[in-house]
Structure 1
Amino acid sequence: MTPPTDPRTTPVETDPADGAADPGLRHLLDRAILVEQRVRRAVHARQLTDPDPDDAFRGLYLSDETIHRLLEHGRPRTVTAPDDTDTDFLAEAESRADAAEAAGHAIRLRTLARDFGLSVLDTEILLIALVPDLDDRFEQFYGYLNDDVTRRRPTIGLALGLCGLSAADAGARSRLSPHAPLRAGGLLLVEDQDRPFLARTLRVPDRITAHLLGDDTPDPRIVDLLVPWQVVPGTDDASGLARALATGVPLAYLREEQGGAGTALAASALTRAGRGVLGVDLDRLARDPNPTEAVRVLSREARLTTAGLVCAPLDALTREPDKTEIIRLVTDVPVPAVLIGRLPWDATWSSRPPLLLHAPRVEPTARAALWTHAYPAPIPPDLNLTHLLSPFLLTPDQIARAAQGASQAATLNGGTLHPDHIRAGARAQNAAGLDRLARRIEPAVSWPDLVLPPDTLTQLRELTARARHRDRVLGEWGMRPGGGRGRGVTALFAGDSGTGKTMSAEVIAADLGLDLYTVDLATVIDKYVGETEKNLERIFSEAAGINGVLLFDEADAIFGKRSEVKDAHDRYANVESAYLLQRMETFDGLAILATNLRANLDDAFTRRLDLVIDFPVPDPAQRRALWDRCLGPVLPRTTDLDLDFCAESFELAGGNIRSVAVTAAYLAAESGTPVTMADLIHAVQREYQKLGRLTLASEFGPYMSLLSA
C-alpha cells in the first residue's frame, strides 16, 4: 500500500462560501482539519519506520521480515500528540464558534456535545470516526495506518493513538464502553465485536453525520412511527404543563376521554417549554419487530433535535401483557416524554412517577375553528360548523383529517361544500373495531319518514337536542357534577315490535350525521360466569372510539328486574345487571335501548335514563299514513285500493304494514300487473299467519272472498 504523500488542505470538498454562510458547518470543517493534521503526522511517523513503503501488496499478507520485526521491536503505535500549530488553530476555530453562538447561530457539534454529555476526548474520538464520511481520502489513510486495505475506518487503538493517548489508558478506554455517552447515546458504533478491543472498528451512524451537516430529516428507522401531532393555538391549559416541563419534569401522563385534546395539549406545552415535538404512534410501535431498538433511535432523534416525545395512544401498549414493557422503555428515555391514553395510570409501568393530568376535550366552538383552519378553501357563509360538528367527539388531528376528507368529497360536486361532506368526513374518523361486534347502518331515512304521535316525535327531537348539546350543557356549563358520570345520553324506546323504534334511532342518527350501530343483547349473554360482562365491555370499549348512535335491541334480556338471591344463578344475573347499569353511566356516547317489555325493566335502570319514550300501536289515522308511505310513490297501484278500509280494519304496527306492502309488491311483480286490492288482502293474510292471528270475517268484511283457501 502506497502511503498518501500529498493530501489536500481541506478535508471536505465544499464551496468555501457555504462554510462561511453556515458557522456550524465551518466549525465542523475546522475540527476536521485538525484531525487531518494528526493523520498527516501519523502517516509521516509511519513512513519513517516502514522498510518498504512502496510494497504494492502491503496489508494483504505478512512477510517473514514483518513478523521478525514485530517480534524484535513490537508494532509501532500511532500516538500523535497535538503540537503548537494545532493548539493555535483550535483556539482560533473555537473563538469563531464563540462569536457565532453569541450572534445566535447554532453550532451543532457544540450543541451535540452539551446535549449528550460528551467530554473533550469524546468529541475528538467522534470526529476521528466521522471524517471518512466527510472525505473519502480518509478511507485510504486509515487503511494505511491499520496496515490492512480492507479496514478503512479507524480502530479503537488508532483513535486513541491519534488523540495522543496510550492504548493502556483505562480512563480513555472507558469512554468507548457500552454505557459511555458516545455509545449509549447512539452517536458511535463499535463494530467487529469478535475482534480484540483495540482492533474493533469505529463508525458514526449516517443520521449523526447528516445532523452535523445540517440535515434534520428523521432517521429512516423510525419514520413510520412518527406522527405530526398538531399544536393548537391558544391552548391555555398547556401553560401549567409547559412550566413543569421547563423546570425539569421528565414524564407526564395525560388521561383523556373520546375527543380529547391530549396530543395537542402536550405538543403546545413542549413548544412553550422551548422544545420541539416528536410525535410517536404507540399503536405502530407495539407492532414494531424490535421496539427496543426503535425506542433507542427515537430517543436519539429527540436529543438531536432538542425535542420531547408525545406518545399516544397508551392503550395500544396495554392490550397484551408482553407489550407493557415497551411503556417502561418509553418512560426511561433521557428527554421529556408526555404519554396520552384513556386508562388510569398503573404505577408498575414506570420506574419514575409521572405528572398526572387530565386532558380536556375539544369543545364545539374550538372544533369549528380547527376545522376551518384545516380546510383549504373558504367556508360557505350558510354553513354552521359549530352546529354540524357538535355531535362529533374528535381530536384535533381527527378534525384536520375530517376537513381534508370533506374537501375531497366536495370536489365530486364541483368544489361546493355541503353539510353531508362535513358529516361524512367526520364519520370517516371512526375506528373499525365496533363493526366486528355490532351491525352498522348508514341512515337513509329522515324526520318526514316517521309516522308517530306528536308527543313521541317531540321527545325524539328532545333526545336529538341532548345529543347535540351535551358538551355545552354537561361540559362547559357543568350540569352533571361528581359521581364519575360521563357526558353520554341514554334513552329507552319502549313499544311493541314494529312500532318504529329502530327506524326512529336511524332518523336520530341521520339528523346528527352519525352512523347507527345495532347490538342484539340477546347474543351478548353468555352462560359462563363473567363472559357476559366481558362481551359488554368489549362493545363499550370499541364504542368509545367511534362517533355513532349505539342501539341495544332486546334490552330487557339483560336489564330485567333484579330478583331475590335464592341461588348462584340469581346472584350472577344480578351482577350482570349491576355491571351494565354502572357501565351505562360512564358511557360518553348516545345509547338507545329498545324493549318490547318495559314493565320488565329494573327501576334502578330507568332512573338512570335521560328519556323514556313510548311507541304506541298506531291509531287508524296513523295507519292510513303508514299504508300510503309503505306502498310508496313508485310502486304501480290500481285505482281500487281501499287504504281507508285497511287502516280501519287491520290493527297492525308500522313494521307489519311495511311487510304487507313488500309481499304485495312481490305478488304484483309475479303477475306483471299493478298492486291490486286482492294482492293487499292476500299479503295481510300471510302477515296474520306469521303473527298467529285468525282471519276473521269481522276484520276482512267485504274482502273476505279474496282470501286464499
Structure 2
Amino acid sequence: MTGGTNQADVGHDRAYEASLRHLLDRAVLIEHRVRRAVEARQRTDPDPDDAFRGLYLSDETVQRLLDAGRSLAAPDETDSGRLHEAEARASAAGQPTRLHRLAEEFGLTALDVELLLIALIPDLDDRFESFYGYLNDDVTRRRPTLGLALGLCGSSPADAGARARLAPLSPLRATGLLLVEEQERPFLGRSLRVPDRVAAHLLGDDTHDPRLTDLLAPWHDIPGVGDPAPLARSLDAGVHLAYLREDQGGAGTALAASALAQAGHGVLGLDLERLARDPQPGEALRILAREARLTGSGLVCGPVDALVREKQQLIRLIADIPLPVILVGRAPWDASWSARPPLLLHAPRVEPDARGTLWTAACTTLVPPGLDITGVLSPFLLTPDQIVRAARGAAQSAHLDDDTLSAAHVRAGARAQNAAGLDRLARRIEPAVGWPDLVLPPDSLAQLRELTARARHRDRVLGEWGMRPGGGRGRGVAALFAGDSGTGKTMSAEVIAADLGLDVYTVDLSTVIDKYIGETEKNLERIFSEAAGINGVLLFDEADAIFGKRSEVKDAHDRYANVESAYLLQRMESFDGLAILATNLRANLDDAFTRRLDLVIDFPLPDAEQRRVLWERCLGPVLPRSTGLDLDFCAHSFELAGGNIRSVAVTAAYLAADSGGSVSMADLIHAVQREYQKLGRLTLASEFGPYVDLLST
C-alpha cells in the first residue's frame, strides 16, 4: 500500500525507543551515585584546586585515604525509587528491553547488571572518563576499577560474594560481557571495560562483531528443501545439540537453518573450514557464542569434516556451547566429540526437481523458455547454498552475452562451486572435445552414451526409485575403459565430461603410490575425500597399478597389499561421483573391482576405415597440405592407434614448419618412421610400399 506505514516497523521502532529509554534511565541512576561519590571526595579533599591533582599523592591525601575508608556512594532510598520508576516505564512498553533480555539470557543478577552499567557508562557519556579518573586518584585511568565499581554498588571489597561476580568464571566475564584489563595489577585495581559489540547491542545495533566477519557463512532458511519440522520440534523440546550427516549435495545447512527459524531462533552460520585456519579459534568461538546469545540465534556449523583430522578439540568446544547448536558434516559422529549426546539425523540431498526450482528463484536474469535448468543441473550434486551462488554466477556471465542465459552459463556457474583441494592431488582438464571427435566402433560409442545417461539420471534411478538399496553404497557411477595406449580412453572421458558440463580430474599416480605400508590408501582417501567436494569426472589412468588383483599371502607385504585392495573396494562403493578407471591391461584388474563397475568398455585398435578418418582429423583443416598426400595408403599400411596417428601428424607439422612449406608425403613417412622408433617397432620396407625411398637411412 503506497504511502502506508508497516506495522512491524512501527512496533520495532517503539521497542527500540523503550529499550534505549530504559538503558538511559539506568545510566542516570549510576550518574547520581558517581556524583555523590565525587562530592564526598571533594568534601574530604585537602587541596581540591591542586593543578597536579591525580599525578602524585601528598601527605594530606595519604592521611585522607587512611581516615576515609572504602565507602563511596552506596544506593539509597532515592535510588530505589528512581529504579522503580525506570522499571515501571520499561514494563509499560509491553515487551522486554534489551537490558532485560540480556540479563535473562546470560543469567545476570541485579549486582551484575549494576556492575555492567558502571563499566558501560563512559561509552555513553565521555564526562565519566574524567569522573572515574578523579575517583581513581589518577587522571590517566579513565575506566572504573573493580574496587571503584564494587564501592559504587555499595559492596565491600572484602565481600567474597560480591568479588565472585567479577571472577574469571562469573557470568559477566566468562561470556565476554565484561572485560577486566591490566591483569598485572592487584584485583581491586584492575580496570573494567564493556566490549564495543555489547555496548552497541544495548544501544540497538545488531551488526555482527567484526571479529566474526571472515567466519560467518550465509546459510539461511530455504523453503522446499527437506522437512525441518521434526528437528524444529526437537529444538522446542529442549534439544540443544544435533548432528546432520549429509552426502555430497546434501541440504544439511539449509535444513538446519529452516529448523532454527521454525523454532523461533535466529540463525548464525559458522564456516568450520575458515575456523580451522583461524589463528585464535578459541577466542573466535567465545565471541561467536556471545553474538548468538545477544541476537537470540542458534548456530549452524559445518562442515565438521574440516576439523575431524587435527582439530577435534574445536568440535568439543562448539558442542559445549549452551545454545541450540546444529553441526553438519559427512563424517560419522564420534562420541568423544561431546559429553552430551546429540540428536543424530540424516540430511537429504537436493533432488533434481528442487535444484531447478532453487536455481530459477535465485537467478537474477530471465531464464529462456527452452532452457531446461533441471536437466542441465542433473549431473551436478550441489547444496542449496551452492545452487544459489551458481545461479548468481551464471547470471553475471550472461550479462556479458546480451543477458541471454544459456546452458553453458548454467554449467559454468555450477563448476565454479568446486573446491580447489583436488587440484593439488590431480590434474584438471577442461574438456575441449565432443562426440564428433570420437572415432570408435558403434558398440563402444553406444556404451559411452549409456555411461553418460547413468551419470545424468543417477539421482532419479538410485535416489527416487531406490534401485541400489542397502550396503552403504553411494550414488556413484564407475566404469572401466580397457584398451591399448592411444585408443581414445582419455579423450572419451573428456567427451563424457563435456556432455555433462563437468571437468576431468586425472589422478597422478606418483602422488598416490607409496612404498611404505598403508600410505597408498591414505593418499587415495585424500583423493576420494576431496573428490566428494567437486562435481567432475575422476579418471584413474593406468588403474591396474592401484586396482590390481589380490594375491596369495606369502609374506607381510602381500597381506598389507590385500588390505589395501579391500579398502579400495569399499571406498569405490561409497563414492558418490563419476569415476573412470583406464587400463592397458584389463586382465590385471581384480575381479571384485569389475563386478562393482557399472560398465566395462573396450577400446580396440582402429581398423583401416577408422584410421582413414583419424588421419583426416588429426591433420585438421588448417594445416597446409601438399596435393600428393596419400592418406588412403597411410590408413591401410600403418596399423597405428589414434594417439600414435596424432603424434605422427604433429611431427609432420613440425617438419613442414621447419622447411617453410606444406606437409608432404615425405614428411608423413619420416614422421611414421620416428613413431615406429618410439614404439620399438621394426621399420619394414614392405609396409612403406612405393614410398620406401622416402625413409631416412
Superposed CA offset, 1:106-147 (max 9, x none)? 510111011001111211221122111111112222223333
Letter in 2 for 1:108: R
- 1:256–1:340 contact (8 Å) kept in structure 2: yes
1:190 aligned to 2:177? no
Superposed CA offset, 1:405-437 (max 9, x none)? 222322332332222222122112212222222
In the TM superposition, residue 697 of structure 1 has moved relative to its aligned partner by 4.1
Aligned mates of 2:427, 2:646 — CA distance in 1: 21
Of 51, 59, 62, which residue of structure 2 is paired with 1:56?
A: 51
- 1:82–1:164 contact (8 Å) kept in structure 2: no
Letter in 2 for 1:214: G
227-236 or 693-702: which moved more?
693-702
State the match for 2:42 in structure 1.
47
Aligned mates of 1:332, 1:523 — CA distance in 2: 39
Letter in 2 for 1:537: E
Cα distance 1:463–1:21, how it changes in 2: closer, same or farther (>3 A)?
closer
State the match for 2:82 in structure 1.
89
State the match for 1:310 in structure 2.
300
State the match for 1:561 in structure 2.
549
SS class of match (1:490):
strand
Aligned mates of 2:155, 2:559 — CA distance in 1: 79
Aligned mates of 1:448, 1:428 — CA distance in 2: 27
Of 341, 355, 369, which residue of structure 1 is paired with 2:343?
A: 355
State the match for 1:277 in structure 2.
267
Of 323, 340, 362, which residue of structure 2 is paired with 1:374?
A: 362
Letter in 1 for 2:154: G
Letter in 1 for 2:106: F
Aligned mates of 1:51, 1:485 — CA distance in 2: 86
424-433 or 267-276: which moved more?
424-433
In the TM superposition, residue 687 of structure 1 has moved relative to its aligned partner by 2.0
State the match for 1:175 in structure 2.
165
- 1:463–1:611 contact (8 Å) kept in structure 2: yes
1:525 aligned to 2:513? yes
1:407 aligned to 2:401? no
State the match for 1:253 in structure 2.
243
SS class of match (2:490):
helix
In the TM superposition, residue 451 of structure 1 has moved relative to its aligned partner by 0.9
In the TM superposition, residue 221 of structure 1 has moved relative to its aligned partner by 1.9
State the match for 1:638 in structure 2.
626
Superposed CA offset, 1:514-570 (max 9, x none)? 111112447633332212212222221221121110111111223333232233343
Of 279, 283, 287, which residue of structure 1 is paired with 2:277?
A: 287
1:331 aligned to 2:322? no
SS class of match (2:650):
helix
1:577 aligned to 2:565? yes
Cα distance 1:634–1:207, how it changes in 2: closer, same or farther (>3 A)?
same
Aligned mates of 2:152, 2:684 — CA distance in 1: 110
TM-score (structure 1 length as normaliser): 0.93
1:686 aligned to 2:674? yes
In the TM superposition, residue 648 of structure 1 has moved relative to its aligned partner by 2.0
Aligned mates of 1:21, 1:568 — CA distance in 2: 73
State the match for 1:127 in structure 2.
117
- 1:19–1:26 contact (8 Å) kept in structure 2: no
Aligned mates of 2:576, 2:266 — CA distance in 1: 33
Cα distance 1:50–1:364, how it changes in 2: closer, same or farther (>3 A)?
same
SS class of match (1:549):
strand
Letter in 2 for 1:210: A
- 1:229–1:263 contact (8 Å) kept in structure 2: yes
Of 252, 267, 277, which residue of structure 1 is paired with 2:257?
A: 267
- 1:19–1:25 contact (8 Å) kept in structure 2: no
1:112 aligned to 2:105? no
Superposed CA offset, 1:206-231 (max 9, x none)? 11110000011111222221111132
- 1:364–1:390 contact (8 Å) kept in structure 2: yes
State the match for 1:623 in structure 2.
611
- 1:230–1:396 contact (8 Å) kept in structure 2: no
> Aligned runs of 1:444-483 on 2, under 5 Å?
444-483=432-471
SS class of match (1:22):
helix
State the match for 1:5 in structure 2.
none
Aligned mates of 2:656, 2:619 — CA distance in 1: 12
Aligned mates of 1:50, 1:685 — CA distance in 2: 109
Cα distance 1:457–1:22, how it changes in 2: closer, same or farther (>3 A)?
same
- The alignment yields a C-alpha RMSD, in angstroms, of 2.0
Letter in 1 for 2:284: A
Aligned pairs, how many? Answer: 685
- 1:490–1:592 contact (8 Å) kept in structure 2: yes
1:28 aligned to 2:23? yes
Aligned mates of 2:137, 2:630 — CA distance in 1: 108
Counting aligned pairs with the same residue, the percent is: 78
SS class of match (2:158):
coil
State the match for 1:226 in structure 2.
216
Of 271, 274, 289, which residue of structure 2 is paired with 1:299?
A: 289
In the TM superposition, residue 76 of structure 1 has moved relative to its aligned partner by 5.5
Q: Which runs of 5+ in 1 are unaligned?
A: 1-17
Of 381, 394, 415, which residue of structure 1 is paired with 2:382?
A: 394
Aligned mates of 2:15, 2:470 — CA distance in 1: 64
Of 92, 96, 99, which residue of structure 2 is paired with 1:99?
A: 92
Letter in 1 for 2:380: F
441-450 or 226-235: which moved more?
226-235
Cα distance 1:150–1:687, how it changes in 2: closer, same or farther (>3 A)?
closer
Superposed CA offset, 1:343-375 (max 9, x none)? 111111222222111122222222222222222
Letter in 1 for 2:256: A
Cα distance 1:567–1:163, how it changes in 2: closer, same or farther (>3 A)?
closer
Aligned mates of 2:328, 2:15 — CA distance in 1: 44
Q: Which runs of 5+ in 2 are unaligned?
A: 1-12
Letter in 1 for 2:370: D
Cα distance 1:56–1:382, how it changes in 2: closer, same or farther (>3 A)?
same
Of 411, 431, 438, which residue of structure 1 is paired with 2:426?
A: 438
- 2:425–2:511 contact (8 Å) kept in structure 1: no
Aligned mates of 1:19, 1:602 — CA distance in 2: 74
1:201 aligned to 2:201? no
In the TM superposition, residue 492 of structure 1 has moved relative to its aligned partner by 0.5
In the TM superposition, residue 38 of structure 1 has moved relative to its aligned partner by 2.1
TM-score (structure 2 length as normaliser): 0.94
State the match for 2:69 in structure 1.
75
Aligned mates of 2:650, 2:102 — CA distance in 1: 76
Cα distance 1:154–1:625, how it changes in 2: closer, same or farther (>3 A)?
same
520-529 or 420-429: which moved more?
520-529
